[in-house]
Structure 1
């Protein structure tokens, strides 16, 4: 008996957002040609590109803290170089390809299992790292949206006129999480899965590390924007966080299209749209594709060494 094909509504929704975003970008840039965009990209000073690369490197270094805290949370240990290697590979692939629970999780399982970690421990680390990612988003976006409430463009069709209500919701979630760390000592059972709040020092470290990660990521884009603009870093940070939130929720790899659409909607009144897109292309190259090339190279070297060692082990048997 043939089974009816199942419709993946999450994928369809992501595809729809990608199509809408592509249309919005094309509409915004219809009066320019690709040479204008390439010229804007080439006009970015090398010193700013260098700053972008260094900030990216620092950002990926900070991300290692996600897994280090995860091992601390489950009371397990592994050498820092193995944790750093695994985190970098998984972070670059999940950031660029998207679907972090599939890409980053599969890579973490592949490496940590080879190094003797149990499936349960790996699952706990994966859940902890993904949860930490959102804690930083909620914390830094909550503070930024309240202190610097951007006016939301009507094109986004949101029920709010500013981002302040979103910031309040985010900070309430952070407050609930911290209160849980202080007050709830017994594990919670959610959908037959056990969840235990970390001790308060770990919870605070989660928020601090993830917030720094988001701050550095936004700084990469900021240094790549044209310097002859009055846009402040805090303004850009609020725009970046809103655009990234939309991109991550969309499930489109790297938020491609959705992220650019939101940034263009906010910045096109202050900076020419073609210059913004040139900076966004540079940002994707520096923050996503350069680390991905490095991670792919490291992964290839590891796999070749792993197969060589495995072959030697089999020959000895």
Structure 2
């Protein structure tokens, strides 16, 4: 049993998120299987103009409320910024984080880039980020308690099997957390939760946090609620409960914008009140207002900011912090994941009357339907390979995107559905130099461990193609065949086993080459010294690149493993060593950090999601770390002047 605990600690959240995603995609496909694009268009056209304008107004109000988060956060940190800057940081941070989802492009990374340019110290920025992150949670708990008190039957299954008073009692711990936070702010300045020290604001600000977050969640839910037609029994409070549950599921699944998970939970929650076309129509408009349009506006604003910064860079650099601006690859990876989800949804729509059915017959149309779910599933896997800058993931993603465009075209979809696949492929092709890592398939010898997943992927791909074109599947995707009671057991077993093996084999082929941390001893110390790396008398281990021509020593700290300097040796292998250390830390459940690194590899540290803090001017030296989480722990490594500035009391932050 004890052997499972470390594995659950490392992978439990990812497995839970994957289960949520699979379950949600099944719900969405089940609802889509009886729909057509025309049904959804009619539902969207039926939304009254008054509702469209009210929802747009609520969207603007929601983002203005989020800007107050950042304004209060800067006051809490002791470095108030103007309302204009608060609005820019909040809008860009939340818009990009809502859509991109991956940790490498969190709102924290965007805020570090903006606030560091405005002169805030890294610790002050960390306080702003922590304040804004905590604020939303307070609002969710406050409103969640209200929903349980007034509409306890909204809780799935439990609402019909438990007495109302038992469900209403669950509001007590939710409100208790909010009340405890406000009360503790009156008596304590700091509290420790798990491994993290949280500096509490003054009572008035803590109360303002809770009230502001409650308004934010309510206004955001109102955007969606206004777009829905009237439905008997669907009160606003009840809808807020469904919305909160769906939003929480989307966050736990760790997918961009909660795509699939949020949508599936909403469809499931609103199923007793409204038909699927009306829910999906409102859902698409909601995503357009709250996610897509703000994403393009924020992207334009952020690009404008970056252009302005580069013009002024020689005259004005942030003295203490430089946030990573390596956003293009995570953004592309997120879009690839969204493209995969779109293909999966397209595969759920009926195939009757499509181009391929008219040209090649019904069996070919069913095969395109089946293929859409397979290609979409593989694109979801490829997104994570792109995040790790793998060359093979870049090549396979290009192939799958072109394949996806072809599938959408032969199904007779509009140009605005298949065109984005080709546009995304062109954008990805232009970023070839950003994918510089070899996977284990390319880097390692063709051992049995590498050969088996390679053969499994090939065999499974052929098997699924034969199943699709053999005419033995109905109008369903591959996982719907597995769950269908109408399909023969042998077919269900074959499709299920080959589908899972295909995805598992692809994941194994995309894994980086094996990580080999080495023990610290006299021989290792001598080896690193000869390369020119830091080689202290005491260290906790060493990491080398895949070619073993560059390496560094590292120290283990509470929740952080600290590499001592840049990897010394060949540049290509130094980049490999940085990524291997990042993968090693991920497996161990800790954050990576690099101390006293030079300017030459800052882009790579940005690629693995680290922020750099300047330690010395001549020669320039930096500390690269997850600043929003680990800066307080590594504060002793900063220069004395910066430490004193960061630790000044902020009495005026009330």
Do both proteins adopt the same fold according to a TM-score greater than 0.5, normalized to the shorter chain? yes
**1:21 is aligned to 2:24:** yes
The residue aligned with 1:269 is: 272
Q: Secondary structure at the match of 1:150?
A: helix
Which structure 2 residues correspond to residues 12-161 of structure 1 after superposition, within 5 A? 12-99=15-102, 102-154=105-157
Residues of 1 paired with 2:159 and 2:240: CA distance?
A: 21
Q: Secondary structure at the match of 1:281?
A: helix
Q: Secondary structure at the match of 2:201?
A: coil
Considering fraction of residues, name the structure with more helix. Answer: 1
Residues of 1 paired with 2:192 and 2:156: CA distance?
A: 41
**1:180 is aligned to 2:181:** no
Q: Which residue of 256, 259, 269 maps to 1:256?
A: 259
Q: 1:109 to 1:159 in 2, by over 3 A?
A: farther
Residues of 1 paired with 2:149 and 2:253: CA distance?
A: 24
Query: Are the counterparts in 1 of residues 55 and 226 from structure 2 also a CA contact under 8 Å?
Result: yes
Query: Are the counterparts in 1 of residues 59 and 290 from structure 2 also a CA contact under 8 Å?
Result: yes
Following superposition, the deviation at residue 65 of structure 1 comes to 1.2
The residue aligned with 2:281 is: 278
The residue aligned with 1:308 is: 311
The residue aligned with 2:224 is: 221
The residue aligned with 2:469 is: none
- Deviation track 1:180-230 (CA, whole Å, cap 9, x = no partner) reads 122x32433455643222211001100111111101001100111124655
Residues of 2 paired with 1:262 and 1:143: CA distance?
A: 20
Following superposition, the deviation at residue 152 of structure 1 comes to 2.9
Residues of 2 paired with 1:45 and 1:31: CA distance?
A: 25
Q: 1:131 to 1:312 in 2, by over 3 A?
A: closer
CA RMSD of aligned residues (A): 2.7
Q: 1:190 to 1:263 in 2, by over 3 A?
A: closer
Where does the alignment leave 5 or more consecutive residues of structure 1 unmatched? 1-5
Query: Are the counterparts in 2 of residues 153 and 265 from structure 1 also a CA contact under 8 Å?
Result: no
Following superposition, the deviation at residue 174 of structure 1 comes to 1.2
Query: Are the counterparts in 1 of residues 154 and 242 from structure 2 also a CA contact under 8 Å?
Result: no
Following superposition, the deviation at residue 179 of structure 1 comes to 2.1
Residues of 2 paired with 1:23 and 1:165: CA distance?
A: 33
Residues of 2 paired with 1:25 and 1:158: CA distance?
A: 24
> What is the TM-score with the length of structure 2 in the denominator?
0.44
Query: Are the counterparts in 2 of residues 137 and 211 from structure 1 also a CA contact under 8 Å?
Result: yes
Residues of 1 paired with 2:196 and 2:140: CA distance?
A: 24
Q: 1:307 to 1:228 in 2, by over 3 A?
A: same
> What is the TM-score with the length of structure 1 in the denominator?
0.87
Q: Secondary structure at the match of 2:298?
A: helix
The residue aligned with 1:244 is: 247
- Deviation track 1:242-292 (CA, whole Å, cap 9, x = no partner) reads 222222233222222222222222222221112111111111111111111
The residue aligned with 2:509 is: none
Following superposition, the deviation at residue 239 of structure 1 comes to 1.6
Considering fraction of residues, name the structure with more strand. Answer: 2
Q: Secondary structure at the match of 2:197?
A: strand
Q: 1:168 to 1:192 in 2, by over 3 A?
A: closer
Query: Are the counterparts in 1 of residues 77 and 125 from structure 2 also a CA contact under 8 Å?
Result: no
